[in-house]
Amino acid sequence: MKIPNLSCKIEMFCTVNPSESIEKIEQAISNVFPYAIINNNDVSINAHSKELRSFEKIYQFIHNNKLQKIYLRSLEDNLQDDTTWFYLNKQAAFVEQIAICEESNESPLGPIKVTLTSSNIDAIIDWIVFD
């Protein structure tokens, strides 16, 4: 896997339910995005990265499991200008699995919303799903 030298901003956001541990949600995000900087405010968690290598695990998962069509559809359906987004299942991320959610209610405790912004968003989508 060769990571293209494209500038981007990756943001992750999820709410923290009263029954959830902030530390476990932070771990879930770190499991999928090991290079992200994580911040919390007791009711939500925001994380971000400016490194495309933060997508390494998702890239590997997509290609190892031949899920290009699913991710391409989600990334294209949610594309607006130079930004796209998708949902990840929070519980799956905690056990180091990657599961995309088409709707936010597919993840019982709420999903992790992943937003990608770049002036080269088309090239980044192509790398994620086709490279």
**Distance in angstroms (rounded) separating the CA atoms of residues 40 and 59:** 26
In the CATH hierarchy, which fold is given to the domain comprising 9-130?
50s Ribosomal Protein L5; Chain: A, (3.30.1440)
* pTM (predicted TM-score): 0.93
Total residues found in the chain within this entry = 131
Q: Quick one: which H or E segment has residue 101?
A: strand 100-101
Residue-wise pLDDT tens digits, 8-65: 999 999 999 999 999 999 999 999 999 999 999 989 999 999 999 999 999 999 999 9
Give the domain ranges of the chain.
9-130
Residue (of 49, 75, 65) closest to 128 by Cα position: 75
**Residue 95: both structure tokens together:** 């056990």
Q: Report the candidate in 124, 126, 129 with the shortest Cα–Cα distance to residue 49.
A: 124
